[in-house]
Amino acid sequence: MYNEAINTNNKIISTNLIANIFSRMNEVMKLYTTRAKKEEQTYNSLPFEEQLNMKRRYNTFVSDFSFSVDFYDSTIIKIDSFEKFIGIFNSRLSEIKSIVSNFSISYFDEENKYHSNSIGFMIYENSFDINVAIDTTNEEVVELFDYIKESISKAPAKYDFVMKNKNKICFSYTFASGCFVAIILSTILVCIPPVFSVFISGGYWMLFPICCLILGYSLGFVLFSGSINDLYKSIDMEKIYDGYDPNTFESRYKSDKNSYINSSEVIIGKNVHNLSTRKKIKHLYRDKKKYIKYELIAIVVITLILFSLQYLMG
């Protein structure tokens, strides 16, 4: 007898994963229900004397696969079948606040041994709790249990590359975006005749790369940090109190990493766009990261041109 909870901490539970698990559970439920119905039909077709002698594999068969879906508009829908649930699940995904599901099969076998199997789900945006109590002699249910465990273990980590490298990603995005603008502005400024004359005659060409880098960082922070921070809002860690700063007379807060990795991220409700957000952040990082190299090369080339002009005109 398995009686345990499956650990889902630090996992991203996608809508496909939820649908696939429930679909597999529905297949197992149908399999047992079909067997029990066929046995019941056979039993009912027999004369009374033969009914008494018939050994039944699924005597007093009872099953349940039901759902309770709580929506953000404060409505709760009770659903008694997978087919009805999956239709509502797919069409109202962004409205779902929580899902509670119960799967149970019980019966007495031919030796009058009681078999009981239950799998319960409590699904919220930041938790995916699974409680399992199954009979190990029921092969199909054990296989279902193994399938659920394997599916969860293969789910992507919540504390992934995007979260582990947040500072690096934000810096790369803002610096690359700001540096592009800084190079254009600095080059235009240097090309203005009075400024150009001072740069060349005064030997200030060496200030060009410094100006580009400082201006690039500043412009990136001011103009572009907001857009990348907005993307992180829906997937970021919550802040917790970290003491009082006597120098600034303000409370300090830090990211609550421990709570973050000890919870799940279920792609329902407010989290419905989180997977696409993570992909977008990755794409922006890889895209902007490539440009940094070319921007630095451009700064070096322009600096060498200014140095050469000073040398030729000196």
Strand 59-71 vs strand 76-79: parallel, antiparallel, or unpaired? antiparallel
Mean pLDDT of 232-236: 93
Q: Please check whether residues 125 and 180 belong to one and the same domain.
A: no
pLDDT interval class at 254 (50, 70, 90): confident
| Residue 262 falls inside a structural domain | no
Same domain, residue pair 92 and 213: no
* 185 shares a domain with 138: no
Q: Kindly state whether residue 255 falls inside one of the protein's structural domains.
A: no
Residues 132 and 225 placed together within one structural domain of the fold:
no
Report which of residues 295 and 1 the model is more confident about.
295
Looking at 102, 136, 154, the residue that finishes a domain is 154
Q: Are 12 and 103 in a shared domain?
A: yes
pLDDT at residue number 1:
60
Residue 286 domain-assigned (yes or no):
yes
Instruction: Count structural domains, the chain.
Output: 2
Examine the domain organization and report whether 87 and 205 are in the same domain: no
Residue after which a domain boundary falls, among 122, 154, 186: 154
- 204 shares its domain with 295: yes
Domain membership of residue 246 (yes or no) is no
Residue 171: the pLDDT is: 95
pLDDT digits (tens, 9 = 90+) for 55-76: 888 999 999 999 999 999 999 9
- Residue 25: give the domain boundaries: 2-154
Name the band, by pLDDT with cuts 50, 70 and 90, for residue 95: very high
**pLDDT value, residue 204:** 73
pLDDT value of position 260? 94
Query: Which of 154, 187, 203 is the endpoint of a domain?
Result: 154
Does residue 3 have a pLDDT over 80?
A: no
> Do 302 and 197 share a structural domain?
yes
- Sort residue 70 into left (φ over 0), alpha (ψ -120 to 50) or beta: beta
User: 46 and 121 share a domain?
Assistant: yes
Residue 145 lies in a domain: yes
Same domain, 219 and 295: yes
Residue 279 lies in a domain: yes
Q: Return the pLDDT at 247.
A: 78
Express as a percent the part of the chain with pLDDT over 90. Answer: 72
Rounded Cα distance, 116 and 135, in Å? 6
What is the average pLDDT value for the chain, to the nearest integer? 91
Closest CA to 82 of 39, 27, 6: 27
> Residue 2: what pLDDT?
64
118 shares a domain with 69 = yes
Confidence band of 270 (pLDDT split at 50, 70, 90): very high
Q: Do 165 and 132 share a domain, yes or no?
A: no
Closest CA to 225 of 179, 183, 182, 171: 171
Structure tokens that stand for 124 in this block: 């919220």
> With bands split at pLDDT 50, 70 and 90, how would you rate the model's confidence at 214?
very high
Q: What is the pLDDT of residues 149-199, one digit of tens each?
A: 999 999 999 999 999 999 999 999 999 999 999 999 999 988 888 878 877
Give the dihedral sign, CA 143/144/148/149: negative
Q: For residue 22, tell me if it sits in a domain.
A: yes
Task: Establish if 180 belongs to a structural domain.
Answer: yes
Structure tokens at 192: 């203005």
